[in-house]
Amino acid sequence: MTETFGARLRAALDERGPLCAGIDPHAALLRSWDLPDDPDGLERFALTAAEALAPRVAVVKPQSAFFERFGSRGVAVLERVVATSRAAGALVLLDAKRGDIGSTVQAYADAYLDPASPLFADALTASPFLGFESLRPLLDTAAKNGSGVFVLALTSNPEGAQVQRARDEDGRTVAGGILDRLAAANAGAEPLGSYGAVVGATVGDSGEDFTAVNGPLLAPGLGAQGATPADVRRVFGAAARNVVPATSRELLRTGPSPRALAEAADRTNDSLRAALDAPG
């Protein structure tokens, strides 16, 4: 039987610490590394980051859009980043935020969550705003292949509140309803469910019980967006052990030296461990 993503993630977090290292080859970051904003610059940037970070962090999170902008050559680099990161022992969370209906969602599942695909990742981010059950092909394919899905719930961008904090006829927020459905999908899973929520580290006091999700909580917003390890602890409270805080720009700005990237990852991981493992 395939080991679940939740079990694999729990082991990786316990062994390597909570940090999720984003690989976002933004044009400005390529320029800051004195690299051209073209497929060759992309390849040097992304593979340098993967080789420096993947051996020491639990999760590597490539942002698909920054690879896709270069067309087929960019996607080929993304395939290499995924393979390089997994070979170094990191779990790969592909940040693509896919969401659609029916056979299209199944095609996304086949592209990202099927081991036969060259883009097979350990987990994928997904958007539930066509209805949570529209993601069923992703969830089912992930379960079959020991993969995971991280579903947008309370995102770090301020515009998200317009939809995510809206209330239904029962007074439940849209985000709260998504968290409830994730909790149901993860019910009984040990040591951790495979279906996670994306909850920004900048959202403040949401009033949600994140422990009920029984799954991982991807927390973007650390660093460049202003959140600190202490903020992560405040937002998630008793669920802190299940949080996967993500940072990309602040970490990647320490390059292009592989040693500087590795040292920055270690410092961030140490700070997060201290904050998230603290009692209370």
User: Which listed residue (26, 73, 97, 241) is catalytic?
Assistant: 97
Q: Catalytic annotation on 97?
A: yes
Block residue for tokens 């994306």: 198
Cα(42)–Cα(36) distance, integer angstroms: 8
> To which H or E segment does residue 246 belong?
strand 243-247
DSSP 173-234: BHHHHHHHHHHHHTTT-SS--SEEEEE-TT-------GGGG-S-EEE--BSTTSB-HHHHHH
Please, where are the H alpha helices in 57-215? 64-68, 71-87, 102-112, 136-145, 161-164, 174-185
Residues designated catalytic: 97
